[in-house]
């Protein structure tokens, strides 16, 4: 993500990067803060407050008819702006029109469509897609996997600082073990070469771990599982590192593979996660177990997948079928 050209937005960007906010959070917060400023004819947020925020959120509900979660995300961005940047928190009793538009049901592929999709993916991008379906991972959770996060003994993956900063352990299909072992061999090959480079600074480390464990950045255990093919400079400090592959490459590849496989659905990386949850439930897996695998805080979020399985309205058999 590029730093915004606006000095004010650039200062917010730097604030969030320094505090290790997730890239998607930075992008979405900058987006909503920018939209809020433009909605109010480029007034500076320090000259606005509760009333202007209420007007903007009501506009999103009434004119843009955004979904409930979209309006909530915009509110979170503005609450962050006024609490952490301007240091004048918004009131807890904001009065605005609540969005009534509910989220759409998720797109889910059949097992046959999953097989067809995976079969036409480029070989070097197939394994992350297999993990998104086989373990229910978000795309960034797959990209951020480190070598040590793969537990072959217990057939599981450790997901650290997922959405909401939560950690969880997820299932690993035994069929993927050979491919994962080969992937680790490839990462080890890269790592051996990197250590010979005089300017190699080691892999990027989260939070203060690089200070607490100075040997970790150059340890094979901490290397990204899906490492990029070449070294690059860290945009934060210019250090030479090997980062993970760009998530946009797998996102584009999944969409292209869906077209090549003749799948007439709106397919994305998240479709693989949706399919994981739906297929688990269809096999009789307890919804609480699925909730834990997905890392949902509230089981209500997981329950949306039960609607996909309810053919017709609440599973009611149509009388037309008896004609």
- Interval 281-302 mean pLDDT: 90
**How confident is the model at residue 162, as a pLDDT?**
82
Let me know whether 67 and 127 are in one domain: no
Read out DSSP for 145-190?
-BGGGEETTTTEEEE-S-GGG--EEEE--GGGHHHHHHHHHHHHHH
Number of domains in the chain: 2
Q: Does the structure show a pLDDT above 60 at 86? A: yes
- Interval 35-51 mean pLDDT: 96
Exposed (0-12), middle (13-18) or buried (19+): which is 36, by Cβ within 10 Å? buried
Nearest-5° Cα angle at 6, 40 to 91: 45
Question: Is 184:147 a contact under the CB 8 Å cutoff?
Answer: yes
Active site residue 185: no
Question: What count of other Cβ atoms lies within 10 Å of the Cβ of residue 289?
Answer: 13
Residue that has been written with the tokens 């051996």 in this structure: 192
**How confident is the model at residue 323, as a pLDDT?**
59
pLDDT above 90 covers a percentage of the chain that reads 74
- Interval 17-44 mean pLDDT: 92
- 140 phi and psi, to 5 degrees? -75, -25
Active site residue 296: yes
Q: Does the structure show a pLDDT above 60 at 213? A: yes
- Give the residue from 85, 115, 135 where a domain finishes: 85
Which of these is catalytic: 126, 242, 244, 273?
273
**CA-based end-to-end distance of the chain:** 58
What is the Cβ-side half-sphere exposure of residue 89, based on CA atoms within 13 angstroms?
4
- Let me know if residue 97 belongs to a domain: no
Q: Which residues contact 233 (CB under 8 A, 6 or more apart)?
A: 239, 240, 241
**How confident is the model at residue 214, as a pLDDT?**
87
Which of these is catalytic: 82, 133, 200, 305?
305
Among 77, 76, 84, 244, residue whose Cα is nearest residue 149 = 244
**How confident is the model at residue 60, as a pLDDT?**
94
Residue that has been written with the tokens 């009793």 in this structure: 93
Let me know whether 80 and 136 are in one domain: no
**pLDDT tens-digit profile of 246-266?**
999 999 999 999 999 999 999
- Let me know if residue 98 belongs to a domain: no
**How confident is the model at residue 320, as a pLDDT?**
55
- Give the residue from 29, 56, 85 where a domain finishes: 85
Let me know whether 303 and 187 are in one domain: yes
Alpha-carbon span 161 to 106, nearest angstrom: 24
List the domain range (segments joined by +) for residue 48: 7-85
Q: Does the structure show a pLDDT above 70 at 139? A: yes
Q: Does the structure show a pLDDT above 60 at 312? A: no
The token pair that represents 55 in the structure block = 């007007």
**How confident is the model at residue 310, as a pLDDT?**
67
Which of these is catalytic: 163, 168, 169, 255?
163
The CATH number assigned to the domain holding 62 equals: 1.10.150.130
Q: Does the structure show a pLDDT above 80 at 34? A: yes
**How confident is the model at residue 142, as a pLDDT?**
97
- Range of lowest pLDDT (56-60, 62-66, 99-103): 99-103
Highest mean pLDDT among 29-38, 64-73, 289-298: 29-38
Beta bridge partners of residue 233, listed in sequence order: 240
Alpha-carbon span 274 to 293, nearest angstrom: 12
Active site residue 305: yes
For residues 113 and 65, the model is more confident at 113
Question: Is 193:160 a contact under the CB 8 Å cutoff?
Answer: no
Question: Is 160:170 a contact under the CB 8 Å cutoff?
Answer: no
Let me know whether 160 and 308 are in one domain: yes
Predicted TM-score (pTM) of the model is 0.80
Let me know whether 63 and 158 are in one domain: no
The CATH number assigned to the domain holding 286 equals: 1.10.443.10
Among 5, 10, 7, 62, residue whose Cα is nearest residue 39 = 62
Which of these is catalytic: 138, 144, 243, 274?
138
- Let me know if residue 288 belongs to a domain: yes
């Amino acid at each position: 993500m590029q730093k915004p050209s606006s000095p004010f937005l650039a200062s917010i960007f730097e604030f969030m990067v320094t505090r290790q906010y997730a890239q998607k959070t930075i992008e979405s917060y900058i987006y909503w803060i920018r939209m809020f400023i433009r909605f109010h004819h480029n007034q500076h947020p320090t000259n606005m407050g509760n009333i202007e925020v209420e007007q903007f959120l009501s506009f999103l509900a009434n004119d843009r008819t955004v979904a409930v979660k979209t309006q909530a995300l915009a509110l979170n961005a503005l609450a962050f702006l006024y609490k952490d940047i301007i240091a004048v928190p918004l009131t807890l009793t904001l009065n605005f029109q609540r969005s009534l538009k509910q989220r759409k049901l998720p797109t889910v592929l059949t097992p046959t469509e999953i097989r067809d999709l995976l079969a036409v993916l480029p070989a070097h991008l197939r394994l992350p897609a297999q993990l998104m379906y086989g373990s229910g991972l978000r795309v960034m959770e797959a990209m951020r996997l480190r070598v040590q996060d793969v537990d072959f003994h217990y057939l599981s993956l450790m997901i650290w600082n997922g959405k909401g900063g939560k950690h969880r352990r997820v299932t690993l299909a035994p069929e993927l073990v050979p491919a994962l072992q080969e992937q680790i061999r490839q990462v080890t090959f890269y790592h051996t070469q990197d250590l010979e480079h005089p300017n190699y600074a080691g892999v990027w480390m989260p939070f203060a771990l690089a200070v607490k464990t100075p040997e970790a950045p150059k340890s094979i255990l901490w290397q990204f599982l899906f490492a990029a093919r070449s070294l690059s400079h860290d945009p934060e400090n210019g250090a030479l590192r090997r980062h993970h592959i760009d998530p946009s490459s797998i996102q584009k590849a999944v969409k292209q593979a869906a077209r090549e496989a003749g799948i007439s659905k709106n397919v994305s990386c998240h479709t693989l996660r949706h399919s994981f949850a739906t297929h688990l439930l269809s096999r009789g897996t307890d919804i609480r177990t699925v909730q834990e695998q997905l890392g949902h805080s509230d089981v209500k979020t997981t329950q949306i997948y039960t609607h996909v399985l309810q053919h017709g309205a609440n599973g009611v058999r149509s009388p037309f079928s008896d004609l």
